[in-house]
Structure 1
Amino acid sequence: MTSSSLEKVPGTLHEHLEEASSHYNYFETNLTDNEVSKRVDEIITTNPDLLEYSEILHKGAILANDDGKITPDRNIYTAKEIKNIEYESAHSIRSQGFAMFLVAIAGSFSAINFGMDESAVGGAQLQYINKFNIINANVQGTVNAAPYLAAGTLGTVSTVLLDQVLGRRAIIFISALFGIGGSLWQALAQSFGSLLVARLFLGIGMGLNSSVVPIFIGETSPAKSRGSFLMLWQTFVAFGVMLGSVFNRAFVGLDPSISWRLMIGSSFVPPLFVVVSILFAPESPRYLLTKRQAKKALEALLSLRGNELSAARDFIILYTSLNHANEIDRIPIFKQIRFFFVDRRIRFAFLGASFLIVMQQYCGVNILVGYTTTILVGAGVSDTNAIAGSIGIGGGCFLSTFFSSQTIDRVGRRRMLLYTFPVLGGCLFWLGGSLYISDSKSRLGSALTSMYVFVFGFGLGIGPISWIYNAEVYPLHVRAFGSTVGMTINWILDFVLSMSWPQMNKTMTSSGGLFFYGAMNFLAFVLTYFFIPETAKLTLEEVDFVFSSGVRKFSSEKLGRLFGTN
């Protein structure tokens, strides 16, 4: 994107945006053909092994310089190349190469593994707490939440240490081995200690894949369909939650000494698909370029894209952009941390993004995903009916992702949050009240309905929006660090909430705990109104301008608008 695409109106928003765009305009377009040719020649001179691809690279560079469009005055493309680009423009996903779908499969099954364990442990705990005589509520919570502690500490730290040494594919492969080993280990555990260590081991793999998979998908997918491919993580986590509940229902009628083992052991299947697909998928082109393996990077793109011209175009863009990114990578980590405190624009983005990550946890969704069965059983529902009812939790999340991909951009992030937070809060009060209904059938029906409405609202609102917001509000030079902080906050809070619920349930009752999280959603509604700017349909330049005003000015403007003083 270039500043020339912005309307130049002196004294208006666009005047400020033109200045801001210089921070992001690291791929320059609208060059002359001679300048484009010189750029490609310099790349080939630096990387002689690219000489055999000289012709297609020159064509790709011209296409990139023309903003990816085939212009009528160009007579350098063959009829087949023109047809391929037109097909890609009309079918941005279907037109991709087979390797891109291998990446999508690896990412999807990584997400399924995570989602399956979340729901599978909810059913299995009804039996393994008796098997190992786990009476203490805090110990129960620790066992359930152990993977999230390991993911937020050992998993994310290991990613930082291994990423530049091993590459994206190797880390995903290793995370799948952790998923297979951890799932089987916990299924075969013969003691409480063995079960706890197995779940910690499983969590390391979760931390690795949740950190690397979105990056890997983002670096391999084409710009036009990157959002659709990235939505696979959220979509298939929800599918995994549903699948785990289905397996719980299938195994709950078996001998209690074996059924819980089959429930939590079943999550070893998805990582098997990850192992197979990632072995045949290419490495991230961006990672290969950072290792000065330009030819391998181009060959990776040739397998990822549906045609050579698109691959060459994306290679030229990536190669040129990486020179700018390398400057960013050299910013010391302590200097990046300092930006979060002293830079008004970054501080505002950090507060907003972190608030939404926190509320993704404190909205109460993980209580429903992980403890639906215990909440319902505690209200007098049978184990079988409770587990059967929990299938709809994952189903509601999975279904809502298909709607959220349309509404989040069309309606807007901020507006969807303001619409859905009151719904989430109301559903938790509804659920808490339903547990007091005397008739068992009415109690179960009311409780399940409130849960299903809740997870559907979560999938439309704070669920996907928290991650989208965290990825788009930071300036480029601190974006990676900001995303890492967000992921760490998410995992630590996931652990805290999952661990604390059994004790909260014991001291406050299920209804009291649900009322608490319901109130948090109404508080989130108020804070969203005053502190969360809209980012939908904004360019990077416009996002930069919105946050540059600072949190105090933004909240004051919203307060003034509320009372009609602006």
Structure 2
Amino acid sequence: MAEKGDFKHEHMADEANDNDTVDFSNNISARIKNPLAGIRQDVLLRDVEEFAAMYDLSDITPLLKKGALVAQNPADFENVEGLDDTERDVLRDEVVHKWRQPRALYTTVILCSVGAAVQGWDQTGSNGANLSFPVAFGIGDTDPTSPNYTRDLWLVGLINAAPYIASAFIGCWLSDPLNNYFGRRGTIFFSAIFCLLSVIGSACTQNWWELFICRLLLGIGMGSKASTVPIYAAENVPALIRGGLVMSWQMWTAFGIFLGTCANLAVYNTGAISWRLQLGSAFIPAVPLVIGIYFCPESPRWLMKKGRYSQAYKSLLRLRNHPIQAARDLYYVHAQLLIEHKIIGQTNYAQRILELFTIPRVRRATLASFTVMIAQQMCGINIIAFYSSSVFQQAGATVLHSLLASFGFGLVNFVFAFPAVWTIDTFGRRALLLFTFPNMAWTLLAAGLCFLIPKDSSAHLACVALFIYMFAAFYSPGEGPVPFTYSAEVFPLSHREVGMAWAVATCLFWASVLSITWPRMVAAMTPTGAFGFYCALNLIAFTMIFFWVPETKQRTLEELDYVFAVPTGKHMKYHMTKSAPFFFKRYIAMNKNATLEPLYRFDNVQSDAVRSASVTAYNQEHRKSETTKKLNL
């Protein structure tokens, strides 16, 4: 059996490239190309036979041939010779009824995303614990005139930031070697163990530095988990619903935040041990992850990367509704891997890190993922997730009312994440970001200005809470789910682990900076000044996204190779000279006749199959309707 990187029938890639003018690293024409397009049918079928013999798949050669023909021209699958009616119905239904997927697919994605609840729960656990653990450890001096005041502020921030520091510098960067040797499932199990034991340890600590160490260990698990689970989900899910399912990572993060606020309230009256219960209870979501990951299939793309095609096919059989879909996806992904391997080749870990910034196609993905990840911290969500109890207390709330107000934030954050399941694949990642950032900016500014209302007024706390809730409502369906979903899909398979590590490390490093600096910032700038500062960062993030973040919705992971081959300058020029003027004409001047020239040109890609299947399904339903009318007459 072929081992990792053992791609032998290179002539297939050569045949495709002979008919293809697309430059994989400098796609000036912005053409999205099917890697199988342009190959003569006799050559394609011969390649399939060689492929099947090489990877011990000879028993399914006829099925692979049909799958390759379907993959070569997705829009014309209705006319592929040899397909039976059942296979045509399945291929049609995957578009018309795109959410009709196997139970194993949903179970795998949802179970693994449950691990994100650990991160969300810990955020709000430490949020509530901030009201009591500093006092318990003697670092809670709140008197500005005390010589220990500034030191204690920095220590509290450092302890809260510990998981994010460890994630950014250790956990995330462990994900590439862990994935290389143990696969996606093994890496997730490794991270779940750290997330399970470290939070229990946090509840048993006796001084601040023991708590700091336990939270560093939590960060190792969080970083490797956050760098792997979204990739694992993205590699398993069909392109049409990839965003909606991969964003379940953020859904469970939001659910974890909500559960953490519930736990904070539940243990409110437990006295001196309340902070221990608030921190320790975050172990609960890790339990089903530790047990359940054993029953999930390994990522087919990871198995193919290792040359284990027979196992990849078995995984695809569990993750798709019919063998024809599994055969099609297996061969289509293989075809793109040949091109990736020819252009990028095999490199070691250190080289892959360097290539994030040197290979043009990879560098553009690095820039885009950096932008969406740092924007998640620039928007200011984590000043609320980490410190909402303290923020509400500064707004004049009691300890109980602070926890109740934080519960409201957690509830809003969770409920408003649900629309993204539909919107992320309908409107797209880029559109959601461009819509939410301006709205997050003004709501954050309004919340800061509400601190100027006299504290003895009943409107003071109510207005602060209202605008913070509105801020969360805009964040949850936009900048909430997009960064991890987006970063998991934009890198080629050769650099997917290290690329995701870079993206998550970016996000969590700046989360640690935010966590460390917020207590001191709010003391120096007042809540109004600090909230205004993050309002300005929202506007800067909006500009970065507008210029540097391409759309990825409903594109297969392999088609995105061509999207990120388009030069950054061409992308920026298009949105400055065409996209922005169109938006003004259509939505400001209300010119309904305004049109926008598309940036990308598509050639025999999956979206063609979407249109074809939709038209066929519509025509069938129309014929049935007409027949029914005639019978009724």
TM-score, structure 1 length as denominator? 0.85
Contact 1:137–1:506 (CA under 8 A) maintained in structure 2: no
Q: Which residues in structure 2 correspond to 1:110-259 (within 5 Å)?
A: 110-135=115-140, 136-252=152-268, 254-259=269-274
* Unpaired segments ≥5 residues, structure 2: 1-21, 141-151, 586-633
1:505 alignment partner AA: V
State the distance in 2 between where 1:164 and 1:480 align.
Answer: 9
Deviates more, 1:478-487 or 1:241-250: 478-487
Post-superposition shift, 1:299?
A: 1.1
* Shift in Å, 1:161: 2.1
- Structure 1 412/305 Cα, relative in aligned 2: closer, same or farther at 3 Å? closer
State the alpha-carbon separation in 2 of the partners of residues 284 and 521 from structure 1.
36
Give 1:94's aligned amino acid. R
Distance 1:41 1:347 in 2: 36
When residues 338 and 219 of structure 1 are mapped into structure 2, their CA distance, relative to the original with a 3 A threshold, is closer
Q: Which residue of 275, 284, 291 corresponds with 2:306?
A: 291
CA distance in 1, matches of 2:115, 2:450: 35
Q: Is the 8 Å Cα contact of residues 237 and 245 (structure 2) preserved in structure 1?
A: yes
Equivalent residue number for residue 459 of structure 1: 476
Report the AA paired with residue 302 of structure 1: L
The 5 Å alignment of 1:9-158 reads 25=33, 27-29=35-37, 31=39, 33-48=41-56, 50-67=57-74, 70-72=77-79, 74=81, 76-96=82-102, 98-135=103-140, 136-158=152-174
- Structure 1 residues 23 and 43: CA distance shift in structure 2, 3 A: farther
Quote the offset at 1:352 in angstroms: 5.3
The partner residue of 1:375 within 384, 391, 403 is: 391
Cα shift at 1:332: 6.7
Q: 1:264 aligns with which of 270, 273, 279?
A: 279
Deviation of the 1:368 alpha carbon: 0.6
Pairing partner for 1:301 from 300, 313, 316: 316
Structure 1 residues 68 and 119, CA gap change in structure 2 (3 angstroms)? farther
Give distance in 2, aligned partners of 1:220 and 1:233: 14
Alignment RMSD: 3.7
Question: Aligned with 1:402: secondary structure?
Answer: coil
What is the CA–CA distance in structure 2 between the aligned matches of 1:562 and 1:285, rounded to whole Å? 40
Partner amino acid, structure 1, of 2:121: M
Please list every run of 5 or more consecutive structure 1 residues that lacks an aligned counterpart in the other structure.
1-13
Counterpart of 1:310 in structure 2 is: 325
**Structure 1 position 549 matched with structure 2 position 584:** no
On the 8 A contact 1:529/1:558 being kept in 2, the answer is no
- What does residue range 444-483 of structure 1 map to in structure 2 within 5 Å? 444-467=461-484, 470=487, 482-483=499-500
Structure-2 change in CA distance of 1:552 and 1:310 (3 Å): closer
Report if the CA contact (8 A) 1:354-1:486 is conserved: yes
Instruction: Describe the superposition over 1:282-307 as per-residue Cα deviations: whole angstroms up to 9, x where unpaired.
Output: 11112222222221111111122222
Q: Return the letter of the residue paired with 1:547.
A: T
Select the residue among 275, 281, 305 that pairs with 2:296: 281
Deviations for 1:93-129, whole angstroms, at most 9, x for unmatched residues?
A: 3322x33223212322111111111112101221111
Residue of 497, 507, 512 corresponding to 1:490: 507
Give TM-score, length-normalised by structure 2: 0.77
C-alpha deviation, 1:371, in angstroms: 0.3
CA distance in 2, matches of 1:329, 1:345: 13
Retained in 2: the 8 A contact 1:531–1:555? Answer: no
- 1:361 corresponds, among 377, 387, 401, to 377
CA 270–474 in structure 1, closer or farther in 2 if over 3 Å, else same: closer
Q: 1:57 to 1:370 in 2, by over 3 A?
A: same
Aligned counterparts of 2:450 and 2:195: Cα–Cα separation in 1: 37
2:525 paired residue number: 508
Counterpart contact for 2:49–2:58, Cα < 8 Å: no
Identify the residue that residue 401 of structure 2 maps to in structure 1.
385
Are residues 139 and 268 of structure 1, via their aligned partners in 2, closer, same or farther at CA, if it must alter by over 3 Å?
same
Count of aligned pairs: 548
- Counterparts of 2:30 and 2:539, CA distance in 1: 40
Shift of 1:342: 7.2
Q: 1:460 to 1:159 in 2, by over 3 A?
A: same
Question: For residues 302 and 68 of structure 1, do their structure 2 counterparts lie closer, same or farther at Cα, with a shift above 3 Å needed?
Answer: farther
Partner in structure 2 of residue 9 of structure 1: none
Distance 1:17 1:315, change over 3 A: closer
What is the percentage of aligned positions where both structures have the same residue? 31
Q: Give me the whole-angstrom Cα distance separating, in 1, the residues matched to 2:391 and 2:359.
A: 45
Q: Which secondary structure does the structure 2 equivalent of 1:126 belong to?
A: coil
User: Is the contact between residue 152 and residue 491 of structure 1 (CA under 8 Å) also seen in structure 2?
Assistant: yes
1:552 & 1:305 partners in 2: Cα distance?
Answer: 40
Question: Which amino acid in 1 is paired with 2:115?
Answer: S
Q: Does 1:321 align with 2:342?
A: no
User: For each residue in 1:182-223, what CA deviation from the matched residue of structure 2 results, as whole angstroms up to 9, or x when unmatched?
Assistant: 121112222222211111111111001110111111122223
User: Is the contact made by 1:345 and 1:547 (CA closer than 8 Å) also made in structure 2?
Assistant: no
SS of aligned partner of 1:463: coil
SS of aligned partner of 1:520: helix
CA shift for structure 1 position 529: 5.7
CA contact (8 A) 2:167 2:508 kept: yes
Task: Return closer, same or farther for 1:35/1:21 CA change in 2, 3 Å cut-off.
Answer: farther
Partner-residue secondary structure (3-state), 1:134: coil
Deviation at 1:137, TM superposition (A): 0.5
Does the 8 Å contact 1:414/1:534 carry over to 2?
Answer: yes
Superposition pairs for residues 426-437 of structure 1, below 5 Å?
Answer: 426-437=442-453
